[in-house]
């Protein structure tokens, strides 16, 4: 086990190096840089441009250097714990992320809990009551959930709340708490607004998880070991939970690799529609404005979470399912 973990940790180093090169290259691919975009924006608004100031900022931010030099400056800063400076916000990247990270984690974790609480009982019921009226009804609801884009559901809820109730359900808190220190009243305001994005983001995930759990359980319920368990007198509920459900959890555990970065990045489109102060819109804005330090550092953080999540999921799968071996190869 120790040798396997050490080998995987060593493999993360070249993986992250390659990812960092790809991320930096993609961010630099569009023509120009942040300052050129900023100058174009000023010109479109009819404002004058101080070329000496622009030249000073270009030298100050290192944008006058070659791409390899800029990459080396960025990577060495990351290794030292310096995420860089955001051009767009005029703040260090660490401060820009700030509360956005906590709010994103809060929304994503509650969405995952909501998804699991809804999906597990429904998926188990559908699998154990195949072709019943309940199964057909839940299947129909699941297909509707899969077919409805999250951003469209968010727009519908915004419209209904505004037209029929005269309230705005956008944002994660009341306006008086925006950019204010954390207090108990601010936390209560967040909890009051939190259920809308949780339901919107969790709808499609719940529907998809129900279908996957139902399919996996149906596959396991028809295997010989389940028939043997029934023949030995095991109760249906105990038999379901102890064996088929445990094996059906493999794909949930395998999703940890993608779940960790999604917890941090959040649902970008839904966040834009609902005006959520999470990291998703921040990342999109940074990519559009070529704010390379903000976008690059955040993408590298997501890459680190991904490789860690894949390792955690592999270890958890080996612990959950005795048929899986970390060393690979056939076992006798």
pLDDT tens figures, 215-229: 888 888 878 888 888
CA dihedral 132, 135, 136, 137 (to 10 degrees): 120
10 Å CB burial of residue 135 (0-12, 13-18, 19+) is middle
Q: Is residue 143 part of a domain?
A: yes
Q: Is residue 233 part of a domain?
A: yes
Is the per-residue pLDDT at 329 higher than 70? no
**What is the pLDDT, as a whole number, of residue 26?**
84
Is the per-residue pLDDT at 256 higher than 70? yes
102 and 84 fall within a common domain: no
**What is the pLDDT, as a whole number, of residue 19?**
92
Based on the structure, what is the number of domains in the chain?
2
**What is the pLDDT, as a whole number, of residue 298?**
86
Closest CA to 318 of 244, 253, 239, 221: 253
180 and 215 fall within a common domain: yes
Final residue in a domain of this structure, among 92, 114, 144:
92
CATH, residue 202: 1.10.3720.10
Q: Is residue 329 part of a domain?
A: no
Please provide residue 83's backbone torsions phi and psi, each rounded to the nearest 5 degrees: -80, -5
Q: Is residue 28 part of a domain?
A: yes
The average confidence (pLDDT) of the chain is 80
Q: Is residue 106 part of a domain?
A: yes
245 and 116 fall within a common domain: yes
85 and 129 fall within a common domain: no
220 and 295 fall within a common domain: yes
Q: Any idea which of 220-224, 255-259, 282-286 has the lowest mean pLDDT?
A: 255-259
Q: Which is more confident, 32 or 173?
A: 173
User: What is the extent of the structural domain holding 241?
Assistant: 97-320
d(CA 178, CA 32): 34
109 and 52 fall within a common domain: no
169 and 71 fall within a common domain: no
Q: Is residue 331 part of a domain?
A: no
Q: Is residue 325 part of a domain?
A: no
User: Rounded mean pLDDT of 285-297?
Assistant: 82
Final residue in a domain of this structure, among 62, 92, 122:
92
50 and 108 fall within a common domain: no
Final residue in a domain of this structure, among 92, 114, 135:
92
d(CA 207, CA 186): 32
80 and 109 fall within a common domain: no
CA distances 256 to 78, 184, 261, 313, Å, are: 25, 32, 9, 6
**What is the pLDDT, as a whole number, of residue 124?**
86
Q: Any idea which of 49-63, 154-168, 281-295 has the lowest mean pLDDT?
A: 49-63
28 and 165 fall within a common domain: no
């Amino acid at each position: 086990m120790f040798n396997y973990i050490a080998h995987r940790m060593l493999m993360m180093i070249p993986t992250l190096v390659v990812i960092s090169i790809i991320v930096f290259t993609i961010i630099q691919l569009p023509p120009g840089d942040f300052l050129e975009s900023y100058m174009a924006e000023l010109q479109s608004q009819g404002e004058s441009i101080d070329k000496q100031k622009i030249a000073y900022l270009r030298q100050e931010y290192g944008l006058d250097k070659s791409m390899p030099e800029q990459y080396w400056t960025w990577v060495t800063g990351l290794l030292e714990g310096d995420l860089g400076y955001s051009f767009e916000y005029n703040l260090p990247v660490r401060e820009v992320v700030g509360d956005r990270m906590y709010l994103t984690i809060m929304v994503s974790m509650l969405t995952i809990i909501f998804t699991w609480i809804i999906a597990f009982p429904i998926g188990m019921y559908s699998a154990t009551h195949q072709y019943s009226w309940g199964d057909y009804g839940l299947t129909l609801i699941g297909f509707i959930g899969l077919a409805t884009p999250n951003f469209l559901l968010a727009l519908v809820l915004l419209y209904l709340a505004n037209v029929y109730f005269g309230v705005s359900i956008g944002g994660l808190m009341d306006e008086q708490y925006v950019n204010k220190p954390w207090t108990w009243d601010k936390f209560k305001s967040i909890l009051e607004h939190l259920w809308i994005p949780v339901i919107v983001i969790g709808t499609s995930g719940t529907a998809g998880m129900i279908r996957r759990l139902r399919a996996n359980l149906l596959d396991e319920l028809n295997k010989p070991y389940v028939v043997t368990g029934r023949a030995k007198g095991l109760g249906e509920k105990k038999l379901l939970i102890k064996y088929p459900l445990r094996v059906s959890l493999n794909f949930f555990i395998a999703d940890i690799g993608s779940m960790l970065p999604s917890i941090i990045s959040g649902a970008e489109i839904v966040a834009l529609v609902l005006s959520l102060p999470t990291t998703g819109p921040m990342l999109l804005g940074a990519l559009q404005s070529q704010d390379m330090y903000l976008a690059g550092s955040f993408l590298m953080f997501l890459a680190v979470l991904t490789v860690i999540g894949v390792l955690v999921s592999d270890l958890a799968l080996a612990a959950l399912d005795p048929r899986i071996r970390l060393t690979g190869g056939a076992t006798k």
